[in-house]
Amino acid sequence: MIKRFLVLFMTIAILSNTATVKAGDDEGMWLPLLAQKLNMKKMKAMGLKLTAEDLYSINNGSLKDAVIALDHGSCTGELVSPDGLFLTNHHCGYGEIQAHSTVEHDYLTDGFWAMTREQELANPGKTVSFLIKVTDVTDQINEVLTDGMTEDERDAAIKKISTVLEEEAMKDNWYEAEVKPFFHGNQFFIFVYETFKDVRLVGAPPSSIGKFGADTDNWMWPRHTGDFSMFRIYCGPDGKPAEYSENNVPYHPKKFFPVSVKGVEKNDFAMVMGYPGGTTRYMTSFGVKQTIKNENTIRIKLRGLKQGIMKPAMDSDDAIRIKYASKYSRSMNYYKYSIGQNLGLDNLNVVGKKQNQEASLTKWINAKDKRKAKYGNALNLIESSITEADEYDIAINYWFEAFWGGAESVKFALNNSRALKGAIQKDDKAALEEIRKSGDDFFKDYYQPIDKGIFVIMMKTYKEDLDKTYYPEFFATVDSAYNGDFQKFADELYSTSIFVDKAKFNKFLDNPTIDVLDNDMALSIAQDAIAIYFSIKGKSEAQNSNLYKGKRLFEAAILEEGKKVAHYPDANSTMRLTYGTVGDYEPKDAVLFKHYTTLKGYMEKEDATNAEFFVHDKLKTLYKNQDFGQYGQAIANGESEMRVCFTTNNDITGGNSGSPVINGNGELIGIAFDGNWEAMSGDIAFEPELQKCINVDIRFVLFIIDKYAGAGHLIEEMTIVK
């Protein structure tokens, strides 16, 4: 078992061996609490003027207190005023912008700006969390583990002691706590958070700015996208988290970022703090092959089919477009990501590099009997588990895309069935009204023809591509009663079910019965679908135990073998710090991409025939008159330009969206929002020569707020550094 001092040393270092970059490259997503030990000397040499205490402190306000996790880590945000005002990406606030939009008040198209605090819009269910502290609990957990435990016994013991540690951390306070594993269960930290539940929309540019380039430019450079939105945190009068109330007041944070309008230049120091969702940098060559063949390929195929149903309907009607804007955007984002990742993994020969790493590690393991006894079977366990469970992995990926991510009505039925039965059996009128409200929320953004079309194409594809072993029970009914025709089956489903029509759903709630519920086709389909999911999951369980053990031993071996160099843990939605510099990059032979874009390029991309590249007349006028205010960049002949985006080599991934990009003085210079197409394999293998973090320049953000939207009162809240 890895000793604590060794794990700590290896946690604060950069992954380095034959298959990865050498220590000293700007790879790594670091835990901020270890900042004093993780290359502070190098960061200072690169331009950091702050101390480790400035980055992470429990007792005093530090940068960690100005960085927030949105919805427990789906995105990141940064505070920019003493009154709880924060910035994040437009795409991170897209769901809220869409939810408040109607044909009459189309905030997606026109943007939204609260000119008074009374106009700020509440968003039930949205949360922001602050990291209070992090504590290493590896010793406490290791005390209850033994080498003789099976993986199931080990997991049970970890869960039991983790629950105790979490309860202790939450005793006599209103915080949340979670124990997180690192290095696949070789180390453990407990994270304590304070979560606020009253989060109000303050401002968002129109999609022609916040989503400029849309799907065409997604994951691409050069970019000209003003990807930002603004919210405010509210709390109870006592300063503590509270549900939405008109009596709530703006939250006063321990720390907020000063905002720099000095601009950035090539080689400037840049630091990003945020909540990266997940990387798999320690994935083996066997896992990479499986990701390419199964997860990505299946996602590309099925999401392409779903988007083919949604897009024509959205283009035909503004009301439908608003209903499905956020859903389509989420689907398209990882559809394109999967295409890019497969290309990157192939072009950069990631499988070959991983195989070299594994060969080197195997040689080291076999050099000593003690190491061979401990780690010798790790790669065999991983390879055999992946090979033997491959058929199940294919099936489960199809299930998630076709059922869980397929027809919304089926998922809606499944999510509400238990609550409905309980409320009916108890004659609980209050519970039924809550379910009615959930129905209102669901049907607000529901269009039956789209849902029906997706159901049919998903079921056809699932049946065609998988063996009958993985068919849900209702497939037999489709064959026997509908001659195998999913369209005819769907015709009856969508003409009878209470879960596909708001009027039928509400009529049922007026006089609900268990009999009607039990005979509903959508619910029956949902129950069959969940049954086949557990069947597939059960078949793969036997291999999972060996797979988890193999991964744990494999990563432990990497840590021990590389103890003289540095390693960092994979991202797992916990706060991380990355550092790097502003810079250009060369994606291919004879091509050099400059490190910034300007409003000139934005205008050059204008295409009146393509909604993705629409440019508003007001923005054209500001550009023509060079009316950039204090946010422009001086150039030759006394003129100025408006910079829009810039690139750094910071190590980021999904979840980092909305993260603050910070200069050496701790000032906000940009907002991270994307990565580049040439390095889409980065979640699995960092490529230092190619990997880029794409950021919207904070000056462009301020320019849009001030000069375009006329919301200068929001600028007045901020501390502007010139």
Tell me: cis bond preceding 222? Omega within 30 of 0 counts.
yes
Q: Nearest to residue 351, comparing CAs of 29, 652, 681?
A: 681
Q: What is the DSSP string of 564-610?
A: TS---PPP-SS-EEEEEEB--EEEETTEEE-SEEEHHHHHHT--TT-
pLDDT at 140: 97
Q: 86 and 107 share a domain?
A: yes
Is residue 112 within 8 A of residue 97, CB to CB? The reply is yes
End-to-end CA distance of the chain: 53
Q: 336 and 472 share a domain?
A: yes
7 in a structural domain: no
Return d(Cα 417, Cα 410) in angstroms, integer: 11
Longest dimension (CA), the chain: 80
Is 64's pLDDT higher than 80? yes
Average pLDDT over residues 536-550: 90
Helix (H), strand (E) at residue 135: strand 128-136
Q: Which two tokens stand for residue 183?
A: 């290095």
Return d(Cα 169, Cα 178) in angstroms, integer: 9
Q: Report the SS3 class of residue 281.
A: coil
10 in a structural domain: no
How buried is 602 (Cβ within 10 angstroms: 0-12 exposed, 13-18 middle, 19+ buried)?
Answer: buried
pLDDT at 116: 98
Q: Which two tokens stand for residue 349?
A: 């020969």
Q: Report the SS3 class of residue 419.
A: helix
pLDDT digits (tens, 9 = 90+) for 608-656: 999 999 999 999 999 999 999 999 999 988 889 999 999 999 999 999 9
How buried is 135 (Cβ within 10 angstroms: 0-12 exposed, 13-18 middle, 19+ buried)?
Answer: middle
Q: 351 and 426 share a domain?
A: yes
pLDDT digits (tens, 9 = 90+) for 681-708: 999 999 888 999 999 999 999 999 999 9
pLDDT digits (tens, 9 = 90+) for 557-596: 999 998 877 789 999 999 999 999 999 999 989 999 999 9
538 in a structural domain: yes
Q: Nearest to residue 639, comparing CAs of 608, 598, 674?
A: 598
Q: Is 100 among the catalytic positions?
A: no
Residue 25: band (very low, low, confident or very high) from pLDDT cuts 50, 70, 90: low
Q: 505 and 435 share a domain?
A: yes
Q: Which two tokens stand for residue 30?
A: 């670091």
Residue 18: band (very low, low, confident or very high) from pLDDT cuts 50, 70, 90: very low
- Phi, psi (rounded to 5 degrees) for 706: -85, -60
Q: Which of 91, 184, 224, 567 is catalytic?
A: 91
Q: Which residue carries 């379910």 as its tokens? A: 435
- Give the CATH number for residue 205: 2.40.10.120
9 in a structural domain: no
Percentage of the chain surpassing pLDDT 90? 91
pLDDT digits (tens, 9 = 90+) for 395-414: 999 999 999 999 999 999 99
Is 237's pLDDT higher than 60? yes
pLDDT at 16: 35
Last residue of a domain, one of 501, 518, 552: 552
Q: 610 and 687 share a domain?
A: yes
Lowest mean pLDDT among 36-45, 155-164, 490-499, 550-559: 36-45
Residue 11: band (very low, low, confident or very high) from pLDDT cuts 50, 70, 90: very low
93 in a structural domain: yes
Is residue 203 within 8 A of residue 136, CB to CB? The reply is no
Q: Tell me how crowded residue 531 is: count the other CB atoms within 10 A of its CB.
A: 11
Q: Is 657 among the catalytic positions?
A: yes
Count of domains forming the chain: 3
18 in a structural domain: no
Q: Is 245 among the catalytic positions?
A: no
Q: Which of 26, 198, 227, 651 is catalytic?
A: 227
pLDDT at 519: 96
Residue 21: band (very low, low, confident or very high) from pLDDT cuts 50, 70, 90: very low
Q: Which residue carries 């946010």 as its tokens? A: 631
Is residue 701 within 8 A of residue 226, CB to CB? The reply is yes
Q: 228 and 344 share a domain?
A: no
Q: 376 and 449 share a domain?
A: yes
Q: Which of 208, 573, 657, 681 is catalytic?
A: 657
Q: Tell me how crowded residue 637 is: count the other CB atoms within 10 A of its CB.
A: 4
Stated pTM of the model:
0.93
| pLDDT, the chain, mean | 94
Q: 115 and 206 share a domain?
A: yes
Q: 548 and 630 share a domain?
A: no
Q: 180 and 316 share a domain?
A: no
Helix (H), strand (E) at residue 343: helix 318-347
pLDDT digits (tens, 9 = 90+) for 470-480: 999 999 999 99
Greater pLDDT, 17 or 98: 98
Return d(Cα 121, Cα 698) in angstroms, integer: 24
Last residue of a domain, one of 195, 212, 237: 195
- Phi, psi (rounded to 5 degrees) for 187: -155, 155
Q: Which two tokens stand for residue 230?
A: 């603004």
Is residue 99 within 8 A of residue 105, CB to CB? The reply is no
25 in a structural domain: no
Lowest mean pLDDT among 1-5, 289-293, 582-586: 1-5
Q: 359 and 407 share a domain?
A: yes
453 in a structural domain: yes
pLDDT digits (tens, 9 = 90+) for 464-516: 999 999 999 999 999 999 999 999 999 999 999 999 999 999 999 999 999 99
Average pLDDT over residues 202-215: 97
Q: Nearest to residue 48, comparing CAs of 370, 268, 324?
A: 268
Residue 140 sits in which domain range?
134-195
Q: Which two tokens stand for residue 449?
A: 């023809």
To the nearest 10°, report the CA torsion of 242, 244, 250, 251: 30
Q: 325 and 252 share a domain?
A: no
Q: Which residue carries 């109870």 as its tokens? A: 236
Q: Which residue carries 């519970």 as its tokens? A: 431
Greater pLDDT, 34 or 301: 301
Last residue of a domain, one of 172, 195, 218: 195
Helix (H), strand (E) at residue 191: strand 187-196
Q: Tell me how crowded residue 97 is: count the other CB atoms within 10 A of its CB.
A: 27
Which amino acid, residue 567?
H
- Phi, psi (rounded to 5 degrees) for 224: -140, 45
